[in-house]
Amino acid sequence: MAWYEMVLGGVLILFSILIILVVIFQEGRQANLSGAIAGGADSFFSKNKARTIDAFLARWTKFVAIAFFILTVVLHAVALLVKK
């Protein structure tokens, strides 16, 4: 196993841990459902949801997932090239 395979594998592990943490820290969608059933009205915070921590985590989830996918494909391609 070459040094670059170990580095890419380590980065892949870091990205997998990061995506797990980002998903865990997001608030569940069911928290909004209880407000709808109880008749909760729109508040100032719900109108500015794009600026909340949930929106920040949602954007980072997309970024980390795309980076994880690309890194996995690159690592697989490197492994195939090394076998030849």
pLDDT digits (tens, 9 = 90+) for 31-45: 555 555 555 555 555
Contact 61, 23 (CB under 8 A): yes
Entry pTM: 0.66
Q: Is 69 domain-assigned?
A: yes
* Distance spanning both ends of the chain, measured CA to CA: 14
Q: Where are the alpha helices (DSSP H) in 1-84?
A: 3-25, 30-38, 44-47, 53-83
Q: Is 14 domain-assigned?
A: yes
Q: Is 33 domain-assigned?
A: no
Q: What is the domain count for the chain? A: 1
CA 1 to chain CA centroid, nearest Å: 29
Q: Is 37 domain-assigned?
A: no
Model pLDDT for residues 18-70, shown as the tens digit of each residue: 999 998 988 776 555 555 555 555 555 555 655 688 888 889 999 999 999 99
Give the domain extent around 12: 3-27+42-83
Q: Is 23 domain-assigned?
A: yes
Q: Is 47 domain-assigned?
A: yes
Q: Is 34 domain-assigned?
A: no
**70 token code pair:** 């690309």
